[in-house]
Structure 1
Amino acid sequence: MNDFKERIAADLAAVRNRSLAYTDAEDDLLLRQHSPLMSPLVWDLAHIGNYEELWVLREAGGITPLRPEIDDLYDAFKHPRKNRPSLPILGPSETRHYISGVRGRTLDVLDRLDLSAPDPLHRAGFVFGLVIQHEHQHDETMLATLQLSGQPGLVRDADLPPGRRPRGADEVLVPAGPFLMGTDTEPWAYDNERRAHRVDLPAYFIDRFPVGNRAYAAFIEDGGYDEPRWWSPEGWRWLRDSGARAPLFWTRDGGTWWRARFGRREPVPMDEPVQHVCWYEADAYARWVGRRLPTEAEWEKACGWDPDAERSRKYAWGDEAPGPDRANLGHRAARPAPIGAYPAGASAYGAEQMIGDVWEWTSSCFLPYPGFHSFPYREYSEVFFGGDHRVLRGGSWAADPAAVRTTFRNWDYPIRRQIFTGFRCARDATPEEA
């Protein structure tokens, strides 16, 4: 096996170790549905294996199906999450046996496939990148489920760099001009990231850092959840219906805000980016400070465009892989890093912490790029296009570097709060400022 295939094999092993670590629990925890928003953990684990069987073994490898009778059970588009506990899904031990058998055959397929072949599933190992990224995304989903469950044991308190206190409304200017949005060169990019296309933007300012807990707490204290003028009509309806008074997992005790984090109750660290806020909350905060959420194009230009080289970077700082001095990724610690912790991870325009820590809401709906072509299946992106979903960018502390880059597009409903989401604000530049 050549070096490239060995790297793929190592990535497959790393993500599987992660999946098994998150599901190393009593059967009851794995079989129970902790929220109607989420699947039972054992469903996610078997779905990971079934997806791998479908794409690596059957589609790329031409192998006879191992368990065709379970395909329907693990089809995410046939069964809403709230209904999955009622399905005759595999139990934990049978699931582990199944995914292990799939993985052994996957490594056999990897060994014999020609990754330079013109077949787009084979070329540059795309099909392996597909399943690696898919598994990492489900691992992040499982972490969100475990956070909702309140189960202890997943709080990793690895040291994170110290922060730097933001100076008031600290923002960076992104001058007017065109940039290339999306990618034609990233071999494992999803269909929704393609094709690269020119976008010309007027000058704007974007926050240097994500909005922090201290700033968000000030919004709450100023009556932000009681004042309809900060909320869109849809957002105000959500607020009235949900009864939300603060980010998810926050509670007030006397003069202190507390949060629940994987079974722990702890004071909210005021120097961290706010997380577990929905799009409506982010939009309301931005209105309160007289700003707005950035568009998806504004976010990507501020993060990845290098105006001197006139090209896109893979990450905010360049093309070098993320390290612990540049971004908080990969569940090194089960929380965002302090604001200002990663000056070495700044973009060409000076924006920081755009990769890792929290997924960042944008104002944009999830829509196809010009020249979009669905590949390898419509249900990854195409069926979600439209006005129902808002785009998130940048990855979170729970995201793996394999599934994060400046062009990567995540999306969700604007009411979602259980995911590891935050935001930063933007504003138009005046002619004098531009």
Structure 2
Amino acid sequence: MKFRDLYSIDLASGFNDVRDSTIKLFERFESALDDNLFVERRKEINLPLWEFSHIGWFSERWLLRNKYLSFDERRPKAWKNCLCGESILKQADELFNSATIPHEERWLVTLPKKQEVKEYLLQTKVKILDLIKRNYPSSNEDCYFYRLCLAHEMMHIEALRMTAQTLGLFLPEVAVSFLQEPSAGERRKILISAHDVFKNEEISGFRFDNEINESHGPSSDFRIDSHPTSIAEFLDFIKSGEYENEKNWSEDGKNWLKDYKSLNKYQHTSLSDKLALAVKCGKENEAEITIEWFGKVLRIGKQLPVFNINYFEAEAYVNSKSRELPTENQWLAASKNQFFQWGSVWEWTSSIFKKDKKFKAHPYKEYSEPWFGDHMVLKGSSFATYRSLKCSRYRNFYMPHRQDIFAGFRTVEII
């Protein structure tokens, strides 16, 4: 069942399952890293101990210390922000509020010991399950903050899986599940007409503040790929020399590529680097390619969707084909078609993450508003996304240079 529609007992079961997954992931990091889960600072990841602490703090702040647990999104201004009592964990408000402690400072502060953090996750779990039992939330308004905390934790689980990828920490339940995905059927171009009746999937339970319950059909007819671009297709893009062709790159893309090459000249860290190396070694024609991923040397089928591709690379690819990346609305319209396959990788769109004219911030106001304008919208979900979080209406968003996301793309032709 999707987290958006969970009530009372199912809500408790969902939270118990997600928190257990968080703790198991904590233990995987614990077994692979030093005494306090320390890693060198990198822009694309959080310090693991800080991130696990933040997960516990967020659920404690919005559930155990929130005086007004009911929220009606139709009347957002009626909700009163009231943070009550002290955190179980000393100085948690100063240390683990992502809105007030900048990314780089998370490496500079004194954090609790890892056993304290693990105990914090366990204690807040027990208290939240007891809260659900006592309150028995049974309306969308009363379930809002429980669902928010569930979604927040599931997002961080995927972010921590991305961190494991970056650090070379093997997570077989993530990597192997993707490698073993069956073939998704025949690839084709799907014709979508602007005259087709198009209605967005209604969001009836929980809704993020950037998700607006309105229908916006495509403005013109288009053909869209039934599947995300495959590794084989991206290999051909590299082998043909089109990856290096400046004509395919936007100005922002050229600037990113120049900076990336100067900083990563000999490292071959991205998937596109690894595919280029396969071409250089004459191995691009093999049925599978061999790359290091999640700290292991793995053989990956070329029929799988390409992943760890950033927006600029996706943009260069579609330009080389005289096609486009889909807009968010085109992707949504196409997702209603029976041949449209999604869910293996996040998919870049050409849509900027912008504020809708009807946007009204929800209580967790830092979720959307700070990121409007310079992030791009991604649609779908990935092999690392928690199943309960998957929804065609969900709007993911990232900066366009990010290559660590489990993201690919598909192409569109305007008719």
TM-score bracket, normalised by the shorter chain, equals: 0.7 to 0.9
Measured in 2, the distance between the counterparts of 1:117 and 1:412 equals 32
Note if contact 1:293-1:426 (Cα within 8 Å) is conserved in structure 2: yes
Corresponding position of 1:95: 117
Measured in 2, the distance between the counterparts of 1:296 and 1:139 equals 25
Corresponding position of 2:340: 351
Q: Structure 2 length normalisation: TM-score?
A: 0.83
| Cα distance, 1:201–1:4 mapped onto 2, change above 3 Å | same
| Cα distance, 1:165–1:174 mapped onto 2, change above 3 Å | same
| Cα distance, 1:186–1:165 mapped onto 2, change above 3 Å | closer
| Cα distance, 1:361–1:272 mapped onto 2, change above 3 Å | same
CA RMSD of aligned residues (A): 2.4
Describe how 1:143-292 pairs up with structure 2 within 5 A.
143-154=161-172, 157-158=176-177, 160=180, 162-163=182-183, 166=186, 170-177=188-195, 179-181=198-200, 183=202, 185-243=203-261, 247=271, 250=274, 252-253=277-278, 254-256=281-283, 257-292=289-324
Corresponding position of 1:71: 93
Note if contact 1:238-1:415 (Cα within 8 Å) is conserved in structure 2: yes
- Answer with 18-27 or 397-406: which moved more: 18-27
Corresponding position of 2:286: none
Corresponding position of 1:85: 107
Q: Deviations over 1:43-90 (max 9, x none)?
A: 111100100011111124586332472112112133333331212122
Note if contact 1:276-1:421 (Cα within 8 Å) is conserved in structure 2: yes
| Gap regions ≥5 residues in structure 1 | 305-346, 430-434
Deviation at 1:194, TM superposition (A): 2.1
| Cα distance, 1:398–1:34 mapped onto 2, change above 3 Å | farther
Measured in 1, the distance between the counterparts of 2:181 and 2:382 equals 16
Deviation at 1:361, TM superposition (A): 0.2
- Which of 121, 129, 132 is matched with 1:110 structurally? 132
| Cα distance, 1:152–1:219 mapped onto 2, change above 3 Å | same
| Structure with higher helix content | 2
Note if contact 2:315-2:325 (Cα within 8 Å) is conserved in structure 1: yes
Q: Deviations over 1:376-402 (max 9, x none)?
A: 22211112111x100001010000122
- Which of 56, 77, 101 is matched with 1:49 structurally? 56
Measured in 2, the distance between the counterparts of 1:249 and 1:418 equals 13
The one-letter amino acid of 2:15's match is: L
SS in 2 for 1:14: helix
The one-letter amino acid of 1:11's match is: G
| Gap regions ≥5 residues in structure 2 | 1-5, 70-82, 284-288
Note if contact 1:126-1:188 (Cα within 8 Å) is conserved in structure 2: yes
Measured in 2, the distance between the counterparts of 1:82 and 1:53 equals 24
Deviation at 1:198, TM superposition (A): 4.0
Measured in 1, the distance between the counterparts of 2:119 and 2:181 equals 40
Measured in 2, the distance between the counterparts of 1:37 and 1:286 equals 26
Corresponding position of 2:326: 294
The answer on 1:40 being equivalent to 2:47 is yes
The one-letter amino acid of 1:64's match is: G
- Which of 376, 383, 386 is matched with 2:370 structurally? 383
Measured in 2, the distance between the counterparts of 1:187 and 1:234 equals 39
SS in 2 for 1:191: coil
The one-letter amino acid of 1:376's match is: P
Deviation at 1:35, TM superposition (A): 3.0
| Cα distance, 1:196–1:72 mapped onto 2, change above 3 Å | farther
Corresponding position of 1:365: 352
The one-letter amino acid of 2:325's match is: L
Deviation at 1:248, TM superposition (A): 5.2
- Which of 3, 8, 11 is matched with 1:5 structurally? 8
The one-letter amino acid of 2:10's match is: R
Corresponding position of 1:20: 23
Percent sequence identity is: 27
Note if contact 2:7-2:137 (Cα within 8 Å) is conserved in structure 1: no
The one-letter amino acid of 2:384's match is: A
The one-letter amino acid of 2:168's match is: G
The one-letter amino acid of 1:236's match is: K
Note if contact 2:312-2:400 (Cα within 8 Å) is conserved in structure 1: yes
Corresponding position of 1:400: 386
Deviation at 1:114, TM superposition (A): 5.2
Measured in 1, the distance between the counterparts of 2:216 and 2:136 equals 34
| Cα distance, 1:142–1:164 mapped onto 2, change above 3 Å | closer
Deviation at 1:131, TM superposition (A): 0.8
Q: Deviations over 1:256-300 (max 9, x none)?
A: 253222111234421100000000000100111111100011111
